[in-house]
């Protein structure tokens, strides 16, 4: 059953370097509950949704909010730490081909270690299982780590797929080299293989799937209304970022960052700029731990919201509304300050409403209702 939750007004807050942030009362309603650490949500028609649970399950949530049994057919998933079954999206032509894409922590076939992988599959007619599962990308090399998997998927206008990949924490320097997939955004065809227009195709010593590099741990990604990719990225202690990765661009990690080592102390030379490295479009210090990203194109929330970017905060447990002018974030409004749940995913549904997943052992799927 869908249950309304009213969330109260709190004091105005400020965002350093920006117009003062606004905090307004908002209302959500619970669409579904009882989800164990849900991570990604995708829409499959008739009011139904696919939801992943990090321990390694994918379920259908019905239009009535009922949570179905786990789908059969998933490949082996190594769940632990930050890893597990993570993002899921539907193909642009899902209504005719029933194709879904999902990413997860893939265990090594032998010798230990893991990495982020992405697979395609067909959702069965009765939505009970995944069929024709095919791994279309596997991050290399595999390492023994339980952290920084990245793992957001975005389908571009031509049908190709962007996938965000973390630096695996212990391999942060790999983000600056092109012979591995750590700390990268990759772009692959929907059937697998590097997109032929990728910037490093044919370059000696570079992996052809790489789109951009110098990233830390990207857990949010979305296409803007103009078709360009935007991402959100976890910094260390401070320095969370909003970026717009472009072909071949270096986003600087770990050479430049607005963050510090955990417990204090500089990372590398402690610099925030270097020639040839991109500056973030927006950064948060202290860190908010951003995860889940969506552009608002719906008219449900009024004209002032159209073109805005929404980002979930895991650390401070709110929803951030970022007002965009061109390539600049000019204002932040902090929504749902009393939610008290980690916001893991943010999506706009085909009905125009914004949906949120909360990351908890008893996680929820929420619908954001237009504010007063």
Q: Name residue, tokens 């009970």.
A: 128
Q: What letter would DSSP give residue 303?
A: G
**Which region holds residue 34: left if phi is over 0, alpha if psi is between -120 and 50, else beta?**
left
Q: Tell me how far apart the alpha carbons of residues 312 and 332 are, in angstroms, rounded to a whole number.
A: 12
Half-sphere exposure of 259 (CA within 13 A, CB side): 24
User: Is 182 tagged catalytic?
Assistant: no
Ordered strands of the 48-53 beta sheet: 38-45, 48-53, 57-61
Provide the pairing of β-strand 328-335 with 19-22.
Answer: parallel
Pick the closest to residue 146 from 112, 118, 175 (CA basis): 112
Give the Cα-Cα-Cα angle 333, 250, 178 (nearest 5 degrees).
135
H-state helical runs in 194-253:
none
Pair of tokens at residue 60: 């259908």
For residue 18, count CB atoms less than 10 angstroms from its CB and return exposed for 0-12, middle for 13-18, buried for 19 or more. Answer: middle
* Contact assessment for residue 50 and residue 77, using Cβ atoms and an 8 Å cutoff: no
H or E stretch covering 213: strand 210-213
Task: Give per-residue burial for 179-202: e unless 16+ CB within 10 Å, then b.
Answer: ebbbbbbbbbbbebebbeebbbee
User: Considering 148, 195, 234, 251, which one is annotated as catalytic?
Assistant: 148
Kindly list the catalytic residues: 148
């Amino acid at each position: 059953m869908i249950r309304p939750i009213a969330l109260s007004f709190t004091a105005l807050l400020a965002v350093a370097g920006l117009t003062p942030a606004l905090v307004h009362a908002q209302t959500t309603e619970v669409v579904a509950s009882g989800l164990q650490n849900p991570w990604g949500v995708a829409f499959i028609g008739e009011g139904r949704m696919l939801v992943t649970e990090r321990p390694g399950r994918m379920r259908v949530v019905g239009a009535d909010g009922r949570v179905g049994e786990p789908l059969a057919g998933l490949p082996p998933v190594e769940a632990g730490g930050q890893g597990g079954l993570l993002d899921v999206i539907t193909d642009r032509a899902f209504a005719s081909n029933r194709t879904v894409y999902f990413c997860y922590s893939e265990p090594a076939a032998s010798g230990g270690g893991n990495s982020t992988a992405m697979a395609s599959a067909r959702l069965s007619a009765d939505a009970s299982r995944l069929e024709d599962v095919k791994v279309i990308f596997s991050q290399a090399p595999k390492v023994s780590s339980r952290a920084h998997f990245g793992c957001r998927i975005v389908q571009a206008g031509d049908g190709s797929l962007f996938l965000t990949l973390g630096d695996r924490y212990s391999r942060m320097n790999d983000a600056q080299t092109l012979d591995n997939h750590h700390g990268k955004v990759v772009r692959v065809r929907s059937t697998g293989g590097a997109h032929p227009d990728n910037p490093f195709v044919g370059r000696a010593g570079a992996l052809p799937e790489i789109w951009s590099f110098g990233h830390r741990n990207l857990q949010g990604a979305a296409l803007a209304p103009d078709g360009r990719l935007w991402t959100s990225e976890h910094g260390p202690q401070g320095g969370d970022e909003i970026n717009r990765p472009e072909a071949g661009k270096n986003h600087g990690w770990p050479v430049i960052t607005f963050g510090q080592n955990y417990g204090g102390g500089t990372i590398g030379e402690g610099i925030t700029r270097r020639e040839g490295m991109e500056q973030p479009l927006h950064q948060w210090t202290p860190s908010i731990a951003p995860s889940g990203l969506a552009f608002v194109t719906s008219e449900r929330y009024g004209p002032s919201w159209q073109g805005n970017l929404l980002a979930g905060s895991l650390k401070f447990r709110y929803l951030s509304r970022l007002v965009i002018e061109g390539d600049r974030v000019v204002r932040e409004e902090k929504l749902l300050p009393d939610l008290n749940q980690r916001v893991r995913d943010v999506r706009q549904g085909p009905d125009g409403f914004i949906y949120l997943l909360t990351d908890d052992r008893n996680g929820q799927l929420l619908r954001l209702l237009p504010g007063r």
